[in-house]
Structure 1
Amino acid sequence: MTNRLEQVINALDHLHGEDPQHVDLDGEPIAAELLYAQRMSTLLATLNQAPGECLQIAVRAQHLQRWQVPRDAYPEGRVGYLTWRRDQGIRAGDTVAQLMNEAGYSAEDTQRVATLINKKGLGRDPDVQALEDCACLVFLENYFADFSRKVEHDHMLRIIQKTWRKMSPQAHELALTLPMSDDSAALVKEALS
């Protein structure tokens, strides 16, 4: 890891660590957003043995300070959700750009990271696809079971199907090997049949 990459990752982790919501990890509390960011980076290392610095930063920053603007600050429904997500991406891109500038990255690199965080070019840009694959796989492995208990069955099936369509063939293969509860595995199987 280069010095400038390490500087940005450490700065991001400091911001992630400010998340007031904590979860228990092996008996120790950790900021929920920091744990998510760490899981994203770990998964990226599984999917891509030599990711570029911009991709590593974007993956680590994907949910940067989302807790500052909660989802319920926007209207219910798909349009409200998409607007919230877009605004979160813009805000995260601006914050990351500042951190990258301080570390000596070029304006081109900061723009690239913003593009990745906002997932512009999904399906056409391999780095955007890698970020999306990480997000989908981290969700399926770590958050899917709890989320699925809160969502109506048929709606959950549609969410799984939409998530699956966004993933690459490599991510599909990996997703089918993830440890899941029997209920979660049955939901995925039903959605994909």
Structure 2
Amino acid sequence: MIENQERFDQARFNQAVALFDAANAEDPNQDEGQPKELLYGQRMSEMIGRFAPNASEAAQLAVRAQHIRRWTVPRNSYPMDKDGYHAWRTGLYTFHANTAGELMREAGYDDAMIERVKKAIGKRGIKVNPDTQLLEDIANLVFIEHYMLAFAASKPEYDEAKWLEIIRRTWGKMSKTAQAFALSGAIKLPEPLVPLITKAIS
């Protein structure tokens, strides 16, 4: 439920979320017995509800669609080098934004709201656009709580220096408010990594 003062059509919002979820329910990859990106979208919405319950309609739509249909653009569809990785990530921003925009139009949203959501999902104006920064905050909080530990397990070749770099980079993308939220006990930190997190941000 959106609780801010913006005027909105709850049925239209619900329809857009249902369309996002239906798209992500097609993900053949599973996480905890659910389609991976469907669960990710739900975790993003749950986190924004905890961190920013009065968030804008655009931000709430953007976090739900952050990874929409991601599995259809696999990493190996780009060159398997550093430049290819960055091109893949940049391409995903545009793909997710456009896919979300199409589904929002189907739900009845106008061009102005679609563009606002696309701007956030496309990571445009981070640090200056509130919707974009909020999406970045939520994505990093969700990563820390739900995915950082598994990511660490998948990268046994990373030494402490590499992990300190990753944590500092993640931390640096977050607003001061999100950093404080992460340290307040409001999210579950990955316990085995807490010493590294503490060292990285001290």
TM-score surpassing 0.5? yes
What code does the residue aligned with 1:66 have? R
2:132 to 118, 128, 131: 128
What code does the residue aligned with 1:150 have? S
Maintained 8 Å contact 2:144/2:190: no
1:111 to 111, 115, 119: 115
Distance 1:72 1:191, change over 3 A: farther
Q: Does 1:32 align with 2:36?
A: yes
Q: Does 1:144 align with 2:148?
A: yes
Distance (whole Å) between structure 2 residues aligned to residue 155 and residue 68 of structure 1: 29
Distance (whole Å) between structure 2 residues aligned to residue 133 and residue 78 of structure 1: 25
What code does the residue aligned with 1:107 have? D
Maintained 8 Å contact 1:157/1:187: yes
Q: Does 1:72 align with 2:80?
A: no
2:19 to 11, 20, 25: 11
Q: How many residues align?
A: 189
Distance 1:111 1:77, change over 3 A: same
- 2:199 matched residue in structure 1: 190
The superposition leaves residues 135-184 of structure 1 with CA deviations (integer Å, 9 ceiling, x where unpaired) of 00000000001111233022222111111011011111122223234321
Relative to structure 2, which stretch is displaced further, 160-169 or 79-88? 79-88
- 1:102 matched residue in structure 2: 106
Distance (whole Å) between structure 2 residues aligned to residue 113 and residue 182 of structure 1: 34
Distance 1:77 1:184, change over 3 A: farther
2:60 to 50, 56, 60: 56
Q: Secondary structure at the match of 1:91?
A: helix
- 1:92 matched residue in structure 2: 96
The superposition leaves residues 69-104 of structure 1 with CA deviations (integer Å, 9 ceiling, x where unpaired) of 112322234432221111112112112111111222
The 4+ residue runs of structure 1 with deviation greater than 4 A are: none
Distance (whole Å) between structure 2 residues aligned to residue 188 and residue 35 of structure 1: 25
Structure 1 length-normalised TM: 0.92
Distance 1:41 1:150, change over 3 A: same
Q: Secondary structure at the match of 1:76?
A: coil
Maintained 8 Å contact 2:148/2:190: no
Could you tell me the percent identity over the aligned residues? 39
The superposition leaves residues 21-64 of structure 1 with CA deviations (integer Å, 9 ceiling, x where unpaired) of 1122xxxx211111110010011111212222211111100011
- 1:162 matched residue in structure 2: 169
Structure 2 length-normalised TM: 0.88
The Cα RMSD (Å) is: 1.4
Distance (whole Å) between structure 2 residues aligned to residue 181 and residue 63 of structure 1: 22
Q: Which runs of 5+ in 1 are unaligned?
A: none
Distance (whole Å) between structure 1 residues aligned to residue 181 and residue 83 of structure 2: 31
Distance 1:182 1:100, change over 3 A: closer
